Copies of this chain bind each other. A is one copy, B any other.
Amino acid sequence: MERRAKQIAELLKVLANEYRLLILCELNKGPKTVSGLGEKMPNITQSALSQHLALLKAQGILDFSKSGQSVTYSIADHRVEEVMSVLKKHYCDKEN
């Protein structure tokens, strides 16, 4: 960990945002278009959502494909899924 601390901190910075966590939660269930994601997150503007997606994509965490006018995002780096799963387990289950 020692030598990787800086790199891992970078990853965690990307995860450390309410909306980016929600995006990953949704995409964990399966790929979704930008507007599909937007429907699940009514509190964020289209522009802000797009900026969060761009960041996750730039970090290699998400992949995307275009089809017609819509863009579908999916999780590319499956390691984050397991990180999410531990977070869920400890901070979301039942009486936490």
Interface residues on A, range: 20 to 34
The reply to whether A90 and B84 contact each other, CB–CB distance below 8 Å, is: no
In the complex, what residues of B have CB within 8 A of residue A19's CB? 5
Cα-based distance from A1 to B87 in the complex (angstroms): 8
In the complex, what residues of B have CB within 8 A of residue A83's CB? 83, 86-87, 90
In the complex, what residues of B have CB within 8 A of residue A79's CB? 90-91
The reply to whether B25 and A2 contact each other, CB–CB distance below 8 Å, is: yes
Interface centre among A12, A17, A25 (most CB of B within 10 A): A12
Chain A residues with a Cβ under 8 A of chain B: 1-2, 4-9, 11-13, 15-22, 25, 79, 82-84, 86-88, 90-92
